[in-house]
Structure 1
Amino acid sequence: METAPIAGLGPLSKRERLREMVADALRAAVISGEMRPGAVYSAPTLSAMFGISATPVREAMLDLVREGMVEALPNKGYRVRVVPETELDEVTHVRLLLEPPTVRDVVPLVPAADFPRLRELAEAIVSAVRERDLVGYIHADRVFHLALLGYAGNSQLVTIVSELRSRTRLLGLTPLLESGRLESSAREHHELLDLVERRDADGARELMVRHIGHVRGKWARGTPVDGAPESGAS
């Protein structure tokens, strides 16, 4: 991974900011495929690429370990995690059990006064794609969907879904971005809100089934779940 040194970071007292910036750069490298699945990267090597000391790099990599993006290898470094096909199938199955019925249930619960805020969250997803900001896209997509699920009033469900989503979105985004399919699928979040505003609970559930099938299909470079057409949506 060829990464230019980060300029203008200020004194070492801004350690947390430095860690955050490095973590964002590493996430982008993993999501785009610049850091290859299965490859091992040492903290000293990465720190030299960033032009900084190894300490903030190690701290940032530990953030990615907790997020399931990389694995720590004692005395070697960090390996970009390869998600097994069986795990993708299992996570997809659990998400299908949780998310579509929950979205269906919250449709009548979303106050009309909240629609403008939800529209802003949906538009942030589209804007991130247009700016070619994959990390921003992942973040905006996560915020939107968890906000929608939050109307169910079940914090445990939101936490579980958040963890499951983070394990199925590590690969395949760059080809979708280059082909233009990612922007098309990003706009589907507005379609979901159209259904919510019309109080079409069954339609919203069906769209969520397609969304999850898209993750298993193109994002994970596998095959879509039965009955779920391919796209690049989340």
Structure 2
Amino acid sequence: MPLGGGERVRRSSLRQQIADALREEVLTGRLQAGRHFTVKEIADSYGVSATPVREALVDLAAQGLLEVEQHRGFQVRRLTQADFRSLTEARVFVVEALFRDLAEHGIGDLPKDAIASVRRRAEAAARAARAGVLDVLIGCDLRFWRELSAIGGNPHICEFLDRVRTQTWIYAVPHLRALQDLSGVCWAGHVALVEAVADRDIETARELTTGYNEHTRALVEKLAPARS
């Protein structure tokens, strides 16, 4: 007898696909901060029913990317400069927890293919940063940090760091796009960072991430108007 779960699986998959697509739209700035939309508008745009769209939008709201507007639909969250500062500070604490976990439990038993995969992500992110290809950089950078944080084995740290990093990118993107040439502007130390982690040199990893946070914060706050 069939279990009857096929439809739920398909709907769940569609829900995730829609959430991923909208997340990318927000991250790249194609859905700009403050943009209002309804479930019907998105459903019509993707040619799907309202149910998986509503579920996907609720998921994105829970991740802090959207705000629910009572009786109106959804709005892409507006992040302020104060939000950005708070998010970068939170990012520091989360990464510190990650490195502390690595230092306490070590990574000696980690399969070599896991480090190799993170290194490939690092190389791709660094290339995109040097070339100034922002959309590629965002995707590679987020995947790099997801894999790097997964080394620690704590899924809650991994999930929270991904959420914080996504939100900082959302704030930074429109300001970075104001520059005509982004070549070499964004931080490109991903390879050095993964090598430090692979060598179990946690102190160097901390120094690199501290430099990354300082670089990113100074860059974005220089580009962002004080009122934002």
Q: Which residue of 2 aligns with 1:227?
A: none
Q: Which residue of 1 aligns with 2:43?
A: 47
Q: Is the 8 A contact 1:38 1:81 kept in 2?
A: yes
Q: Which residue of 1 aligns with 2:76?
A: 80
Unaligned runs of 5+ in 1: 1-10, 225-234
* In 2: Cα distance, 1:95 partner to 1:160 partner: 9
Q: Is the 8 A contact 1:104 1:204 kept in 2?
A: no
Specify which of 10, 25, 39 is matched with residue 14 of structure 1: 10
1:133/1:170 CA distance change after superposition, 3 Å: same
Unaligned runs of 5+ in 2: 1-6, 224-228
1:125/1:91 CA distance change after superposition, 3 Å: same
Percent identity over the alignment?
25
Q: Is the 8 A contact 1:15 1:56 kept in 2?
A: yes
- Please give the residue correspondences for 1:136-215 in structure 2 after superposition, counting only pairs within 5 Å: 136-137=139-140, 139-148=142-151, 150=152, 160-173=160-173, 175=177, 179-181=182-184, 185=187, 188-215=189-216
Q: Is the 8 A contact 1:103 1:201 kept in 2?
A: yes
Q: What's the CA shift for 1:210? A: 2.1
* In 2: Cα distance, 1:42 partner to 1:201 partner: 46
Specify which of 115, 118, 126 is matched with residue 118 of structure 1: 115
Specify which of 84, 90, 94 is matched with residue 94 of structure 1: 90
1:48/1:135 CA distance change after superposition, 3 Å: farther
Q: Deviations over 1:139-171 (max 9, x none)?
A: 5134223224x26xx676556545533432324
Q: Is the 8 A contact 1:24 1:135 kept in 2?
A: no
Structure 1 residue 38 and structure 2 residue 34: aligned?
A: yes
Q: Is the 8 A contact 1:195 1:203 kept in 2?
A: yes
Tell me which amino acid in the other structure corresponds to 2:120: E
Q: Note the aligned Cα RMSD (angstroms).
A: 3.6
* In 1: Cα distance, 2:204 partner to 2:195 partner: 10
* In 2: Cα distance, 1:57 partner to 1:82 partner: 21
Tell me which amino acid in the other structure corresponds to 2:95: E
Per mean C-alpha deviation after superposition, the further-off stretch among 190-199 and 156-165 is: 156-165
Tell me which amino acid in the other structure corresponds to 1:141: F
Q: Is the 8 A contact 2:99 2:206 kept in 1?
A: yes
Using the size of structure 1 for normalisation, the TM-score is 0.69
Q: Is the 8 A contact 2:146 2:162 kept in 1?
A: no
1:56/1:217 CA distance change after superposition, 3 Å: farther
* In 2: Cα distance, 1:42 partner to 1:13 partner: 25
1:19/1:181 CA distance change after superposition, 3 Å: farther
Structure 1 residue 62 and structure 2 residue 58: aligned?
A: yes
Q: How many residues align?
A: 206
* In 2: Cα distance, 1:216 partner to 1:119 partner: 29
Q: What's the CA shift for 1:136? A: 4.6
Q: What's the CA shift for 1:64? A: 0.5
